[in-house]
Homo-oligomer: A and B are copies of this chain.
Amino acid sequence: MYFGLYGKLVAKPGEADRVIEILNRNLDALSEVGCLLYVINQQADALETIWVTEVWLSSEHHEASLQLPEVRAAINEAMPLLTGEFDQVRLSTMGGLGLVV
């Protein structure tokens, strides 16, 4: 069993592409610290609404990643581009198709 997260963030009008570019920047670093899946999506009926699908070895691996300098820099850079509306669904990930462990 793994730790999963659906993380919702909302870009200010016109800023979704820049936010997505920032989210895409540190994928190798995340992979090195226990991230199995980090898929970036736009909500189909509201393209400023971005959902990140995450799966981690554990919630502790996820927490630790938030202290990486490159992750903190990305958060600081993205924050002014966001409305401040956040939501998340915390998950126990059981497996399935396409999850490469």
Q: Is the pair B97, A27 in contact by a Cβ cutoff of 8 Å?
A: yes
* Residue A98, interface by CB 8 Å: yes
A16 CA to B58 CA, complexed, in Å: 22
Q: Contacts of A53 on B, CB cut-off 8 Å?
A: 4, 6, 53, 96
**Chain A binding surface, main DSSP class:** strand
How many copies of this protein are present in the complex?
2
With an 8 Å Cβ cutoff, the count of chain A residues facing the other chain is 36
Can you list 18 pairs linking A and B with CB atoms under 8 Å apart? A4-B53, A23-B96, A24-B95, A35-B97, A37-B96, A37-B97, A38-B98, A39-B55, A39-B99, A40-B93, A40-B94, A40-B96, A41-B91, A43-B92, A44-B90, A44-B92, A53-B53, A98-B98
